[in-house]
Amino acid sequence: MTGALQRLLEITPAPHEPRRTDWGVTEESLGVGLPADYKQFIEIYGGSNWDDHLYVLEPGCPNDNYDLIAWARNQAEDLEGLWEFEKKPTELQDEGTRVIPWATTDNGECLYWLVRPGTEPDQWTVMLNEARGDRWEHFSLSCTRFLAGSLDGELRSGILSSLFPRPVHEFRRLGSV
């Protein structure tokens, strides 16, 4: 278990029932492997809401609104259309580079993995795009390090709500609606 996952368990204890995911089907659908820390996170926490603001996407999430595979498909289409009108962030300029969403917020920001050719999934970093705007932030961290750093106040974003994180953390596993 990574240090970031251990820190998340200290911040918010895990639910009692682990999630089971068919990673082979998920990765085949996405066309890439996924980071080990994300897989461990999903098996421990599942699709989840943190401090009533940040939603971590899960493949096959019981709440269809937060299904990783559907989000990946939709965001890829949306971003291709967006690049016709807005300049791509510098990190996305290289041929074959793309982003895959792993979380969103109730304000509409989207958190992505930055996927570069030849970079292993465990080396992917985080890109954050503001809702209804062209600002992006890049964090040279894994998704679990980003989440743990955000929750414990070690990391600050100029895009995420100033009300996140909350002083007393809230965790909710996403269920069906």
DSSP 64: G
Number of domains in the chain: 1
Tokens of 51: 């401090």
Its pTM stands at 0.94
Residue-wise pLDDT for 24-51, tens only, equals 999 999 999 999 999 999 999 999 999 9
Residue-wise pLDDT for 60-102, tens only, equals 999 999 999 999 999 888 888 777 888 889 998 899 999 999 9
Which range marks the domain in which residue 161 is found?
Answer: 3-173
Residue whose C-alpha is closest to residue 100's, from 121, 130, 131: 121
Judge contact between 11 and 150, C-beta under 8 A.
Answer: no
Residue-wise pLDDT for 1-29, tens only, equals 679 999 999 998 888 788 889 999 999 99
CATH number of the domain bearing residue 126: 3.40.1580
Amino acid identity, position 124 = W
- Find how far residue 112's CA is from the centre of its chain: 5
Judge contact between 101 and 72, C-beta under 8 A.
Answer: yes
